[in-house]
Homo-oligomer: A and B are copies of this chain.
Amino acid sequence: MPVLYTPPTADQLRAVPGVRLGTAAAKIKSWARDDVVLILADPGTVAAGVFTRNRFCAAPVIVCREHLQRQHASGAGLRALLINAGNANAGTGDPGLADARAECIAVARMLDCAPEEVLPYSTGVIMEPLPLDRIIAGLPAAHAAARADGWFAAANAIMTTDTVPKGASRQVTIDGVVVTVTGIAKGAGMIHPDMATMLSFMATDAPVDAPLLAQIVRAVADVSFNGATVDGDTSTNDSFVLAATGRAALAPLRDPADPRVALLRGAIEACAVELAQAIVRDGEGATKFISIRVDGGRDVEECKRIAFGIAHSPLVKTAFFASDPNLGRIVCAIGNTAAPDLDPAGVSFWLDDVLVVDHGGRSARYREEDGKRVMQQQEIGIRVALSRGTAAATVWTCDFSHDYVTINADYRS
């Protein structure tokens, strides 16, 4: 079990009225475990998603985008998600696309719904043909096993190189009604794209219409999953889908300015941030969790670029692994990603409460032992102030250890 993340217990993942989850063992790889998840949503459920921007995106991502678009266009809802672990169905060309469509057709037949009401997810090795027959053969068992409290089992069945299952729940009272948000996630898209996929599914029983849901899912992804990185590799399969079953006895949510939306969004964002951080904390070989905040920027993009520049530098990451306050490496990473017109004399940075660089130069108060003290912590905060605007962004990453090399060099051997 990783030192940086404590997985949820089964009873901490609360049921979402209108959603049931079942798992089955389809032997996608030669392992003895459940590796297929069928998520069933009651009629009336709407869904929205955000997906990888990788140009070699997986076949299921292409089909998910198509089906969500058709659902929104036709007013049809979401009835099921089918997830398999062990094979990404990515880099598989036209046959892979046909396989992803065939999965949806098989589920639709079983549930008596339209194929476009089904979304396929795959996660695992890239460039291997999907074992379609074994997945379809596993469907009846997954269907029979579906239950409202199946979240924990589902979180386990979607794992690949994850060491622990990841899930989060929040409840929020809106107009006197308790609304639930529960989500699960796996892997860490940017950690190991060959086991492809940052993948998350989240549901709420709040009644949210599709356009608003799409808006929420994009905004939440930007401040959660899109801020998580281990090594900067965005996988071919990254997907985050949010479903709203509408089973809570609330008047429908349609207007982004409705104050009830902020309450719901807060709960969704809290779940998503917890899951995104869980992915980093369970990052391959991670021994430290590092939170990087860049503020005072001209725009959010500038802040993100610099924060990711620090988060992706192997030199910064190995220094964290060694608990070595070799902080010139952070200065270098900032300088590498800063806009050409950024004045270094405006830049300061802190390691937790320790001011290291004060307006472009080493702080007169900085002492090596203070840096060393912070670097030895398991959780470390970096703050960079650019002093030229009001934008800010936060990203999370982990350190770079011998175990990272071992895990990634030895994975297939």
Contact = CB atoms under 8 A, between A and B. Distances in A.
A267 interface: no
A329 B126 contact: yes
Contact of A409 (B92, B318, B411): B318
A43 interface: no
A233 interface: yes
B409 A324 contact: yes
Nearest to A129: B362
B91 A361 contact: yes
B361 A92 contact: yes
Interface centre among A55, A234, A326 (most CB of B within 10 A): A55
A55 B344 contact: yes
A127 B406 contact: no
Interface in A59-118: 88, 90-95
A347 B56 CA distance: 10
A321 B402 CA distance: 13
A328 interface: yes
A296 to B, nearest CB: 15
- Chain A interface size, as a band, is 35 or more
B335 A56 contact: yes
Nearest to A406: B402
A233 B90 contact: no
Given A55-B334, A333-B233, A413-B324, A408 B90 contact: no
Contact of A322 (B324, B328, B413): B413
A339 B196 CA distance: 21
A176 interface: no
Contacts of A95: 361
A54 interface: yes
A160 interface: no
A287 to B, nearest CB: 11
Contacts of A233: 313-315, 329, 332-333, 336
30 contacts: A54-B335, A54-B336, A55-B335, A55-B338, A55-B342, A56-B331, A56-B344, A56-B347, A90-B328, A90-B331, A91-B357, A92-B362, A126-B331, A127-B362, A194-B315, A232-B313, A233-B313, A233-B329, A234-B336, A235-B332, A236-B332, A314-B400, A318-B409, A319-B408, A321-B405, A322-B409, A324-B413, A326-B411, A400-B405, A405-B405
